[in-house]
Amino acid sequence: MEEPLEINHSDIPIRLFKSGFLEFFTHVHPITIIILWTPIIIGSFYWGYSLHPAQGGLLYLPVGFISGMAIWTFVEYNIHRFMFHFCPRAAWQQRIVFLFHGVHHAQPRMKTRLVMPPAVSIPMGIFFFALFNWIIAGLIGQPAWVGPVLSGFSLGYLIYDLMHYATHHFPMRHGVFKYLKRHHMLHHYKTPNQRFGVSTTFWDSVYGTLPKDG
């Protein structure tokens, strides 16, 4: 059973690298990801539109977009559970897990470490673009679908990161937002081995990591 890390509420961030240059890239303001990913979301969707088949309508655009968002929720859950909460078997693995996510559990209210650094999210985005292109354009033979799927996937990621920031720093006292905030706070302070979803609890229900009390 994974135990919660000792919580550090200091305003002084835990230092991750001796190098000031590398340390700089571990701190990200949420406006950064909005500026970075909004053009990618819009550009990918337009790219998909520009490739629309001569025969047929544009239904593939909303269908692809919604599918991309749904795919993100699945990726979000699995990355959080199996990568960020990987149980290390060696010191170097423990170091990597702490760099990626352990530091957030150790210092959960550090504002500049609540969204994914572009040094991580950009390579991840490139990987999934290549994967979608290989499967959708290469194997299925529908290149026009790649753009809207990537656009929806990227928006799903952006919503996740902003939702994560909000759960730690906004009141969120009503409706689904209150429920998601409670869900994530319980993950941090009570059940770090459960409740891995941030933007949705759907996959927690599917995988059985949503306790009976919600």
Q: What percent of the chain stands above pLDDT 70?
A: 95
SS3 37: helix
In this structure, what token pair is assigned to residue 198?
């941030």
Q: Which residues contact 175 (CB under 8 A, 6 or more apart)?
A: none
- Give residue limits of the domains in the chain: 30-50+58-207
SS3 89: coil
Write the pLDDT tens digit of every residue in 65-120. Answer: 999 999 999 999 999 999 999 999 999 999 999 999 999 999 998 999 999 999 99
Per-residue pLDDT tens digits of the chain, which is 214 residues long:
444 556 776 778 999 999 999 999 999 999 999 999 999 999 999 999 999 876 678 999 999 999 999 999 999 999 999 999 999 999 999 999 999 999 999 999 899 999 999 999 999 999 999 999 999 999 999 999 999 999 999 999 999 999 999 999 999 999 999 999 999 999 999 999 999 999 999 999 999 999 987 6
The candidate with the shortest Cα–Cα distance to 80, out of 116, 48, 125, 107, is 116
| Amino acid 2: pLDDT | 46
- CA 119 – CA 62 distance, rounded (Å): 30
Buried-exposed string 159-187: b where 16+ CB fall within 10 A, e elsewhere: bbbbbbbbbbeeebeeeeeeebbebbebb
SS3 1: coil
